[in-house]
Amino acid sequence: MKILMVLTSHDQLGDTGEKTGFWLEEFAAPYYVLRDAGAAMTLASPKGGQPPLDPKSDAEDARTGATRRFKQDDAAQQALANTLKLSSVDAGQFDAVFYPGGHGPMWDLAGSADSRKLIEDFAAAGKPVGAVCHAPAVFRDVRDKNGAPFVKGRRVTGFSNSEEEAVGLTGVVPFLLEDMLKEKGGDFRRGDDWGPHVEVDGTLVTGQNPASSEEAAKELLALLT
């Protein structure tokens, strides 16, 4: 079982002067769910190398068992520091793909032609595709085999408008994720703010927020096993 994880390379939070990137829990929890189940994990990002970590996700109040485990895991840290360049990755080499969130993907992966082709190739082959929190932004330009938006008519979730408002970034992000998924025809579902909520529609798995990352990975794993 070979699983690809795709992380952002974008580290600027709009024009705020603050840093962003990927959210540590949304990487660490799925990474360990999948790796502990025996999956061979490969990490990639648009620029390759070390993806930027959102510093807020490493603050004490954001830490979880998975993030603490990662901090003690030299092998996982080495893997993260040496992600493959996304353009070099072939979907045919993997059984599934998972995208951790953080605000970064809204800027680079949402518009990445390499990411779009990768998702379309996974979907065409009937392989599971997962994304959590802000990472469903990667579906913005993805099309199905008939040319329709990838999420059209499918149950999806992601970081909600009310959660974005709560963190004060409604006017900073390039688009609101919930609005975009609805505009593309997605059947957007959500749970309570900050509570775990996962949607599975066929081979598509989406999680609403950081609290949903572990469950989203478990659902992806269930599709494979």
Show the domains of the chain with their CATH numbers: 2-224 (3.40.50.880)
The pLDDT value given to residue 81: 98
Distance of CA 189 to the CA centre of its chain: 17
pLDDT in tens, 177-211: 999 999 999 999 999 999 999 999 999 999 999 99
The pLDDT value given to residue 146: 93
The pLDDT value given to residue 8: 98
Please name the residues in contact with 217: beta carbons below 8 A apart, sequence gap of 6 or more.
29, 30, 33, 34, 98, 130
pLDDT in tens, 31-56: 999 999 999 999 999 999 999 999 99
Cα dihedral 142, 110, 189, 62, rounded to 10, equals 150
Q: Of 127, 50, 61, nearest to 93 (Cα)?
A: 127
The pLDDT value given to residue 43: 98
Ranges of residues in the chain with a pLDDT under 50 are none
The pLDDT value given to residue 70: 96
Q: What CA–CA distances, in Å, run from 188 to 152, 158, 183, 191? A: 10, 8, 10, 11
The pLDDT value given to residue 71: 94
The pLDDT value given to residue 91: 97
